[in-house]
Amino acid sequence: MFTGIVSDVGEVISVRPRGEGLHRLKIACGYERASIGEGASIACSGVCLTVVGTGVEDGRTWFAVDAGAETLRLTNVGRWRQGTRVNLERALKFGDELGGHIVSGHIDGIAEVIAREDLPDMARLVLRGPAPIMRFIAPKGSVTLDGVALTVNVVEADTFSVLIIPHTLQVTTFRDSREGDALNVEVDLLARYALRLAETAR
């Protein structure tokens, strides 16, 4: 489990196909190598991936993860290339502060950035979401975009907007987000269960 509070921005240093529908990615990060165990879960731009190896290259720690066919199909991982910057978050430990909201690292779909408005030290992003997940997105509700916990501002038909505050712009990949970008979306877990309960009650 995660909170959507990014603790580092990593950089993809290699992408290698490993058999049918499987990619192995090496991601450079600022974490201490000794703190990353094989089998650990790290959210990479919101996608929960399992560490399968670690090392140090050119003075930088790296970890390796495998992305299967389903992950490549449902997320933006299949678009990552050498040099792609990704938001990173380590899995929660008991006693950690829950600063964002509960995030599972299971992506529901991809949203396209259709507009960016730059404000003084901030940015507003307008996104078009897939129809099946738009019913889970509500004004003032929570949504996770590329692993970042955000508050929804406005919802209109198949679009919604979020405001990126100065700190978030500085410590995530959103400073580079542009029109046409595809972002991983995870809807609020509580909204998912609330809708399911309402449907079964009917």
Ordered by where they begin, the domains of the chain are 8-90 (2.40.30.20), 109-201 (2.40.30.20)
Per DSSP, the chain holds a count of helices (H) and strands (E) of: 4, 12
Partners of 53 in the beta sheet? 64
pLDDT at 194: 76
Q: What angle do CA 36, 104, 200 make, to 5 degrees?
A: 160
pLDDT at 20: 79
Cα–Cα distance, 108 to 167 (Å, whole number): 26
pLDDT at 95: 74
pLDDT at residue 67 is higher than 80: yes
Q: What's the token pair of residue 27?
A: 């991601």
Q: Which helix (H) or strand (E) holds 51?
A: strand 47-57
- Per DSSP, the three-state class of 145 is strand
- Per DSSP, the three-state class of 67 is strand
- 137 and 152 in contact (C-beta within 8 Å)? yes
pLDDT at 200: 79
- Give the pLDDT confidence of 18-54 residue by residue, as tens digits: 877 899 999 999 999 999 999 999 999 999 999 999 9
- Per DSSP, the three-state class of 33 is helix
pLDDT at residue 198 is higher than 80: no
* Residue 202 or residue 31, greater confidence: 31
58: alpha, beta or left, given left = phi > 0 and alpha = psi -120 to 50?
Answer: left
Q: What's the rounded mean pLDDT across residues 156-185?
A: 96
Cα–Cα distance, 98 to 101 (Å, whole number): 7
For the chain, give the mean pLDDT.
93
Q: What's the rounded mean pLDDT across residues 111-123?
A: 96
Q: What's the token pair of residue 134?
A: 């738009």
pLDDT at 195: 72
Question: How many alpha carbons fall within 13 Å on the CB side of residue 58?
Answer: 4
Cα–Cα distance, 50 to 43 (Å, whole number): 9
Band of residue 201 on the pLDDT scale cut at 50, 70, 90: confident
pLDDT at 189: 81
pLDDT at 176: 94
Q: What's the rounded mean pLDDT across residues 165-191?
A: 94
Q: Which amino acid, one-letter code, is at 182?
A: A
Among the listed ranges 8-22, 23-37, 70-84, 88-102, which one has the minimum average pLDDT value? 88-102
Q: What's the rounded mean pLDDT across residues 117-140?
A: 95
Among 97, 106, 128, 113, CA closest to 46: 106
Q: What's the token pair of residue 118?
A: 């730059």
Q: What's the token pair of residue 86?
A: 């990704």
Write the DSSP symbol of residue 91. Answer: P
Band of residue 97 on the pLDDT scale cut at 50, 70, 90: confident
pLDDT at 101: 82
